[in-house]
Chains A and B, each alone.
Chain A
Amino acid sequence: MSTTLAPWFGWLALLLIVAGTIGGLFLAPADYQQGDGFRIIYVHVPSAWLSMFAYVVMASSAAVGLIWRIKLCHSLAAAAAPVGASFTFLALATGSIWGKPMWGTWWVWDARLTAELVLLFLYFGYMALRAAIDDENRADRASALLAIIGVINIPIIKYSVEWWNTLHQPATISKIGKPSIDTEMLIPLLLMWLGFTCYFFFLLLVRGRAEILSRERNKQWLKDALGATS
């Protein structure tokens, strides 16, 4: 299934990201307060969304794997981790680049930024823990526990701008029914958001296959499958 679905997600992601980039960088009007600097949101917001979404996918898969002892779920969780870490890095880096002209500083220990940094460390911790334990079953269990405990950070990231007095602006597009962003600016953002999401699933499928190949390398079904395709 992954060999069939992955190209679809890949090409769809490419199409949506190209369309969103053209719309966001060249067609959307400049913001009346932030000028053209606001265009960074077209890469920052989808990255930030994916950083949290990938974590939820990783933790949910790990939880299912832990409770029902499904190895495939641990493989999916392991596949989601580096992708999620990449998006978290991008969210932090592009946010920092945006912060310099808008706030006058690259970084502040604001609740939203700090929680996002904690998320990056959670991804690193998850990957390091898996790599540090040789026994696959023990690595699965330990890393799954860490992933599940770390989920608490997701609502903290999401609601940090409401719970604390932060420099980071509150939600702009997720206000149901009334996004405080112009439609001309919103459409490219939604295209980028969809494109990044398709890109995530594309990578999840490719990396998931690699994880299964690595884990099941001695299993007969894999040998049969490889024998059939060679």
Chain B
Amino acid sequence: MEWLDYGKHAPYVWSSVALTAVVLLWNVVAARRRLAELTERARRRLIAEENA
């Protein structure tokens, strides 16, 4: 585990990496969720129009 020991810089390095990972993951989740929501909404509207 020596290669994981960044000494006094460890909190700075790991917090940067963790923050980046959180932002990158959140972006993917948010984008995919929005696309799924809009697709579902459009499908529902289409079904409602067909039934009307």
Name A's B-contacting residues (CB within 8 A).
10, 17, 21, 25-26, 35-37, 39-40, 43-44, 47, 82-83, 86, 89-90, 93-94, 97-98, 100-101, 199, 202-203, 206-207, 209-210, 213-214, 217, 222-223, 226-227, 230
- Contact between chains at A217 and B42 (CB < 8 Å): yes
**What residues of A have a CB within 8 angstroms of the CB of B23 in the complex?**
86, 89-90
Closest residue of B by beta carbon distance from A196:
B24
- Contact between chains at B17 and A43 (CB < 8 Å): yes
- Contact between chains at B12 and A40 (CB < 8 Å): yes
- Contact between chains at B42 and A101 (CB < 8 Å): no
Can you name 20 A-B pairs with beta carbons within 8 Å?
A: A36-B9, A36-B10, A36-B13, A37-B13, A40-B16, A83-B27, A90-B23, A94-B16, A94-B19, A94-B20, A98-B16, A101-B9, A199-B24, A203-B31, A210-B31, A210-B34, A217-B45, A226-B43, A227-B46, A230-B43
- Contact A25 to B17, CB < 8 A, known contacts A36-B7, A207-B31, A226-B42: yes
Task: Identify B20's interface contact among A90, A98, A207, A223, CB under 8 A.
Answer: A90
Q: Mark B1-38, 1 if CB is under 8 A from A, else 0.
A: 00110111110110111011001100110011011001
**Dominant SS among interface residues on chain A:** helix
How far, in Å, is A88 (CB) from chain B's closest CB? 11
- In the bound complex, how far is the Cα of B13 from the Cα of A44, in angstroms? 11
- Contact between chains at B13 and A40 (CB < 8 Å): yes
How far, in Å, is A191 (CB) from chain B's closest CB? 15
Closest residue of A by beta carbon distance from B50:
A227
- Contact A43 to B16, CB < 8 A, known contacts A36-B6, A83-B27, A213-B35: yes
- In the bound complex, how far is the Cα of B17 from the Cα of A44, in angstroms? 9
Task: Identify B27's interface contact among A93, A97, A203, A214, CB under 8 A.
Answer: A203
- Contact between chains at B31 and A21 (CB < 8 Å): no
Closest residue of B by beta carbon distance from A26:
B3
- Contact A209 to B35, CB < 8 A, known contacts A35-B7, A36-B6, A226-B43: yes
